[in-house]
């Protein structure tokens, strides 16, 4: 479900251990779970570019790396 975007391309999952964001690099859409943190949800919905900044700052890391630790 979270693996494939509505555009047909793969979504990539990122987490900080509390929040999860699944991002499509093809069309830019994302879905996720905010773990009850409504402020985080409001922030990324109103400023979607924050998701990329969090990934670049390594505050959100690939889910596969997070669970490999």
Determine the distance from the C-alpha atom of residue 62 to the mean position of all C-alpha atoms in its chain, rounded to a whole number: 9
pTM above the 0.75 mark? yes
Percent of the chain with pLDDT over 90: 71
Contacts of 1 by beta carbon, 8 Å cutoff, 6+ apart: none
Q: Where are the domains of the chain?
A: 11-68
Q: What gap in Å lies between CA 64 and CA 37, rounded to an integer?
A: 22
Determine the distance from the C-alpha atom of residue 39 to the mean position of all C-alpha atoms in its chain, rounded to a whole number: 15
Interval 9-35: pLDDT, tens: 999 999 999 999 999 999 989 999 888
For 32, 40, 65, the CA distances from 68, given in Å and listed in that order, are 20, 25, 5
Residue 35 confidence (pLDDT): 85
């Amino acid at each position: 479900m979270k693996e494939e975007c509505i555009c047909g391309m793969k979504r990539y999952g990122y987490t900080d251990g509390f929040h999860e964001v699944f991002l499509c690099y093809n069309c830019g859409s994302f879905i996720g779970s905010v773990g009850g943190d409504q402020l985080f949800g409001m922030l990324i919905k109103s400023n979607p570019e924050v998701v990329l900044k969090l990934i670049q700052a390594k505050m959100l890391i690939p889910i596969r790396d997070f669970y490999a630790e």
